[in-house]
Amino acid sequence: MTRQQVREALAILQREVPNWDVPVITLMAQEHRDPYRVLIATLLSLRTQDQTTGPAAQRLFALADTPEAMLKLDQKTIERAIYPVGFYRNKAEQVLAISQRLLDEFDGQVPDDIDVLTSFHGVGRKTANLVLAEGYNIPAICVDTHVHRISNRWGYVKTKDPLGTEMALRKKLPRDLWITYNPMLVALGQHCCKPTSPMCSQCPVASFCKRVGVQRSR
């Protein structure tokens, strides 16, 4: 897939994705472009499906949506609010620890630097990039399993892991596409470009795809 084909594919996806389930973090950012909400909601989303993450985040933010307010809650209250997200007890502890550090070191503001963000416990490059892109509208490439899989399936990159995919995309992907690349590919991956037996017959960008590694499709 060429750079121009990627641009054309994303243009098609931007028309199609509103008819699908947009990734929950993107929906939240559209309603509240708040780096703190994006950070906490992304932490909740790890190893948790969107249909669980969305309601859990809404319940939590109804109680507290700033570091100051969050620290007025005890861990059990946060656990009850976010249940049944995966590892909800650990995540409740992380939410409190992150909120405390934000107040202690950053005046309650979420840093807009990826190296600083990844120094927080439980925050990896995927989460940090999503905070920059969706929280601050700063060009960043968030690579999750969908982005890694589809970028390789398209034949746009040839990488072994998400970090390799992020580095490859930083070199190849036009900078003006960095922010939209993740939500478009996540939506595509959730809707039809499944890990096994992708629904190629329903894919609006199938003509651009090299189908690398696809052995069976629908």
- Tens digits of residue pLDDT in 7-28: 999 999 999 988 887 677 877 7
Q: What is the pLDDT of residue 22?
A: 67
> What's the rounded Cα separation, in Å, for the pair 33 and 175?
20
Measure the CA–CA gap between 6 and 16, rounded to whole angstroms: 15
Span 66-83, pLDDT tens digits: 999 999 999 999 999 999
Question: What is the mean pLDDT for each group of 10 consecutive residues in the chain (218 residues)?
Answer: 94 92 75 90 91 94 98 98 97 98 98 97 95 96 96 97 97 96 94 95 96 94
All structural domains of the chain, each given as residue ranges with its CATH number in brackets, are 3-21+141-208 (1.10.1670.10), 34-136 (1.10.340.30)
Is 114 in contact with 129 (CB distance < 8 Å)?
yes
Q: Is the pTM of this model over 0.85?
A: yes
Distance CA 169, CA 189 (A): 18
Distance in angstroms (rounded) separating the CA atoms of residues 79 and 89: 6
- State residue 125's pLDDT score: 96
> Of 64, 98, 67, 99, which is closest to residue 78 (Cα–Cα)?
64
- Assigned token pair, 75: 């861990």
Q: Which positions ≥6 away from 80 have C-beta within 8 Å?
A: none
